[in-house]
Structure 1
Amino acid sequence: METRRRSDYEEEEESTADDVDQHRKDFLRSFVDRLLGAPLISKAGKLQTTVDVFITLEEVRAVTLHVCTSLHLQPSLLRINAGYPIHIIGDLHGQFHDLRSIFTRCGHPSNTSYLFLGDYVDRGVQGLETSLLLLALKALYPERVFLLRGNHEDFNTSVTYGFYDECILKYLDCGELVWLHLINAFNHLPICALIGGKVMCMHGGISPHINSLADIENIRRPSIVPSYGLMCDLVWSDPESSVNPGWSLSARGISFSFDETTIENFCRQHDIDVIIRAHQITTDMFNGGYKLHAGGRMVTVFSAPNYLNMSNDSCVVRIDSNLCMRFIVFRPVRKQKANKNSKSIAK
């Protein structure tokens, strides 16, 4: 009877693991290529922004499984110190065609770095395709693509603002299962990022619960977004120049608003040069897609052009190796007449 050495088994296990990893990469690469190359739905005489693609239930399961493994290896506070330039993307809200336009203009994620600040779903019609493409890219290029959690990557919020309904509409009886697969992946997303030790990024804003950046690192995941506390503030809070000095209860009914002095004090205390966040679009952002606060110590960026037919510009922030910012502006293909009575919209 032939006796096999331990090294034979070890070589066989390594070979099997390599085969599994290659199969995973091949699947993810094929999935990404299909979503990036899918055509727009064509209707005679009408400008279309909906991409003609269908994702199977098996693909949803596979992508979310692969990405949860990747996300689990990363801390709640990402420290990014390589891969410059890095492109920072604000809210997308299911505008899948506009996400593809960002990649066309800024570079393919295989050789270009991206940090996404959340709000991939709700309100737009292709939140599923938007989030799954980003999750697949994260699993395929873990050192190039970084994803943070927004307030809409949440069980309760996505039920209210459309993503749950989108999954039911597209998958009928399997829709709730699809939605739960995505919610599980969202629960694994990091909350905050620090670029070059000086540029702090999150979806919402700062928090009175931060004594040191280690407090963010200690946020445990996977987790739901709580209704109060540090994690809640990082995805929900807002700068507001008209509020009382310091911290005020937010008009949203959750988390806080904070003034410009609070921003300056936070940056000084934690040795931060600038904070980049998303979460809002106001009328003074319609031209340019971004807004500066506290003399430039905080930047709000919004990356969904013509959001809810408002004809707004959108923006991507590019950070180079010297931590200098450049604003890349995207204008709607077809500008619609702006409503003269439009008000600031907080999302």
Structure 2
Amino acid sequence: MASASITKDPGDLMVRAALIIQNWYRRYRARLSARQHYALAIFQSIEYADEQGQMQLSSFFSFMLENYTNTHKEDSALVSRLFENTRLESKDREEYVGLIDVPDSYDGPRLQFPLTFTDINLLLQAFKQQQILHAHYVLEVLFEARKILKQMPNFTRIKTFPAKEITICGDLHGKLDDLMLIFYKNGLPSEKNPYVFNGDFVDRGNNSMEILMILLVSFLVYPTDLHLNRGNHEDFMMNLRYGFTKEILQKYKLHGKKILQVLEELYTWLPIGTIIDNEILVIHGGISESTDLSILQQLQRNKMKSVLMPPVSTNQDSNIKKNKVGSPSAAAGPSEQSASEQLTKLEWEQIIDLLWSDPRGKKGCYPNTSRGGGCYFGPDVTSKVLNKNQLKLVIRSHECKPDGYEICHDGKVITVFSASNYYEEGSNRGAYIRLSYGTSPQFFQYQVTSTSCLNPLYQRVNAMEFSAFRILKERMIARKTDLINAFELRDHSKTGNLVLAQWAFFLWESILGLNLPWRSLSSHLVSTDASGSVDYMSSFDDIHIEKPVKDMKSDLIETMYRYRSDLKIIFNIIDTDQSGMISMDEFRTMWKLFNAHYKVHIDDSQIDELASTMDSNKDGNIDFNEFLRAFYVVHKYEMPENPLNK
């Protein structure tokens, strides 16, 4: 009997092949997704650590106020800069605006006051062409906006209707393309198309001024239909670190200082929240177990000059009087520069919680250790605050989310973040929310598309991952001496190797203060042998801080590099004439105070030697910005060419 030939069904082979390819592709996408997740975790962890450092500056400023002014009693400008409200009366407006002419040669947008919808369109078209609005118009807009904002309550109350929805946008952070895309998809602000912009309009992006002008001009045209909440970056101290101050001074070299002075006060008059339909609380950051809307609605918000400037201790702080303060515009006169010019400690903490807090799944309310300000609040805290105030929902921003929004706490907290590609091209979508009375929130996602966004996914992940590990390496090199000391304490046999678990959990997390999956990231950061031991010195093979002065000690280099942003902010406050120069005596005084407060243990002699060397023309002054630029990181590697590596 002839044996029957066995042939496989071609259709079956095709199905099996398709399943193999499908499984391979799913694993491939999962690996890319994991790499993307780790890169986002690095970006966010370092962002919050930087904000924590910024918040920690607040205690230093109180220390500096007490000590610096004791040695420089004649310098009352520092006290005024830090702790007194700057008031620009009507005569100052004429001085600021009236004396700035708009030349015939200026070919940018010319605004006509009172403003109309035409001016909104005019600005949008001009900014699309990368034109700069003249300083005269910028100041006019700031003064006009301040005049209206001063009449507004701390919480704006608005209502929706089935035929009149409202759009809520989160952080924009100077990303003009995102705002343009929102307006393209959702329509321009109008009486029939109201908006709430929930803080953090500025900083980090390159077009913070353009976004601020569009929002303020729209607010002036539709003051009852476009609502602006204060975020933690509507703060002159935050702007010093995160870029908006630099942007203004670069775009307005002649009148930038005037713009900054007016803007500094305008921030203080922004409302701190919006309540929609008496049910939805819209605030930038979050809440805490002690959030009290009755206190928040009554306090004089313009006294919050900066969230980084806590009230100077007074006897009244321990016993807040819940008196009726009336209209927020009823501020004390210029002659009453005293404790009455400040919020009480309780009031200050209430606003800090509103602007800086983040929701978490864990019950309770506990310190926000990542940011250094505000709190983490759990679902029980959300329910308690909502029930107490007869509210149903909190909408907040403040945190970048991969999808542009996130729902948590059993649907009672929504985060909306409107800056797409926030950390890197392709890192996240942006989103906005539309609300209508009696219906569930609608979410709209988008992503600004550039040339790199059209690249294949693996290339976008590679680029994002490369950028993330670059900034992580810079954070490592800033603590190189501390890390090596910690490694060597664990390396009892002096082999130069550690068990991966020790390297990851006992050392990196405690020294760098970054809560990251170090073992998963180790292949990018350190050489590991087959047994799982790591050569801990290999962490620093491809990066170093360039020495501005030969034979300079490593610990001093790292300290100056690590604290360069803080030092620059401190210098900018002391440099009241904005000259960019600092005397040797001022530098020594500033450093001694900084050294004493931060306990960085650098000998004064080292600083004196460094300062003398940096005084290149020996005139007793240092260009401080040039001084800090001398400390920079050199990377010895390039972007990996192979997109399928790892």
TM-score, normalised relative to structure 2: 0.45
Aligned to 1:261: 380
Counterpart secondary structure, 2:301? coil
Aligned to 2:243: 162
User: Please, which of 113, 117, 120 is the counterpart of residue 32 of structure 1?
Assistant: 120
Aligned to 2:168: 88
Supply the AA of the counterpart residue of 2:287: I
User: Please, which of 423, 443, 467 is the counterpart of residue 327 of structure 1?
Assistant: 443
1:72–1:37 CA distance, 2 compared to 1 (3 A): same
State yes or no: 1:148 paired with 2:229: yes
Give the whole-Å Cα distance in 2 for the aligned partners of 1:272 and 1:183: 33
Q: How does 1:50-129 map to 2 (within 5 A)?
A: 51-82=129-160, 84-110=164-190, 111-129=192-210
Give the whole-Å Cα distance in 2 for the aligned partners of 1:299 and 1:132: 27
The CA deviation at 1:29 is 4.0
For residues 194-243 of structure 1, what are the alpha-carbon distances to aligned partners after superposition, in whole Å with 9 as ceiling and x for unaligned?
100111100011134323x222211313232444411111111111235x
Give the whole-Å Cα distance in 2 for the aligned partners of 1:157 and 1:310: 24
Counterpart secondary structure, 1:91? coil
For residues 227-269 of structure 1, what are the alpha-carbon distances to aligned partners after superposition, in whole Å with 9 as ceiling and x for unaligned?
4411111111111235x63333432112211122211222222
Give the whole-Å Cα distance in 2 for the aligned partners of 1:79 and 1:269: 18
For residues 54-96 of structure 1, what are the alpha-carbon distances to aligned partners after superposition, in whole Å with 9 as ceiling and x for unaligned?
1111101110111112212210011112463000000000111
Aligned to 2:295: 215
Counterpart secondary structure, 1:280? coil
1:249–1:313 CA distance, 2 compared to 1 (3 A): closer
Give the whole-Å Cα distance in 1 for the aligned partners of 2:243 and 2:171: 15
TM-score, normalised relative to structure 1: 0.82
State yes or no: 1:239 paired with 2:349: no
Aligned to 2:280: 199
The worse-fitting range, judged by mean Cα deviation, of 105-114 and 123-132 is: 105-114
Counterpart secondary structure, 1:308? coil
The worse-fitting range, judged by mean Cα deviation, of 162-171 and 253-262 is: 253-262
Q: How does 1:313-324 map to 2 (within 5 A)?
A: 313-324=429-440
The worse-fitting range, judged by mean Cα deviation, of 131-140 and 261-270 is: 261-270
Aligned to 1:181: 262
Contact 2:127–2:210 (Cα < 8 Å) also in 1? no
Aligned to 1:229: 349
The CA deviation at 1:298 is 0.2
Give the whole-Å Cα distance in 1 for the aligned partners of 2:261 and 2:369: 29
Give the whole-Å Cα distance in 2 for the aligned partners of 1:247 and 1:80: 32
Aligned to 1:277: 396
Give the whole-Å Cα distance in 2 for the aligned partners of 1:183 and 1:333: 34
1:116–1:39 CA distance, 2 compared to 1 (3 A): closer
Give the whole-Å Cα distance in 1 for the aligned partners of 2:413 and 2:425: 24
Supply the AA of the counterpart residue of 2:175: Q
1:315–1:274 CA distance, 2 compared to 1 (3 A): same
For residues 300-342 of structure 1, what are the alpha-carbon distances to aligned partners after superposition, in whole Å with 9 as ceiling and x for unaligned?
1100111132411110010012252000111231436134596
Contact 2:153–2:271 (Cα < 8 Å) also in 1? yes
The CA deviation at 1:53 is 1.8
Supply the AA of the counterpart residue of 2:155: L
The CA deviation at 1:184 is 2.1
Give the whole-Å Cα distance in 2 for the aligned partners of 1:323 and 1:156: 40
The worse-fitting range, judged by mean Cα deviation, of 215-224 and 192-201 is: 215-224
Give the unaligned 5+ runs of structure 2.
Answer: 1-111, 311-347, 470-513, 516-646
Contact 1:121–1:128 (Cα < 8 Å) also in 2? yes
Counterpart secondary structure, 1:252? coil
Give the whole-Å Cα distance in 2 for the aligned partners of 1:263 and 1:340: 35
**The structure with more strand, counted as a fraction of residues:** 1
State yes or no: 1:133 paired with 2:214: yes
Supply the AA of the counterpart residue of 1:103: F
User: Please, which of 399, 409, 412 is the counterpart of residue 297 of structure 1?
Assistant: 412
Give the whole-Å Cα distance in 2 for the aligned partners of 1:53 and 1:323: 41
1:59–1:29 CA distance, 2 compared to 1 (3 A): farther
Counterpart secondary structure, 2:143? helix
Give the whole-Å Cα distance in 2 for the aligned partners of 1:191 and 1:39: 28
Largest Rg, 1 or 2: 2
Contact 1:150–1:204 (Cα < 8 Å) also in 2? yes
Supply the AA of the counterpart residue of 2:222: Y
Give the unaligned 5+ runs of structure 1.
Answer: 1-22, 41-50
Contact 1:86–1:319 (Cα < 8 Å) also in 2? yes
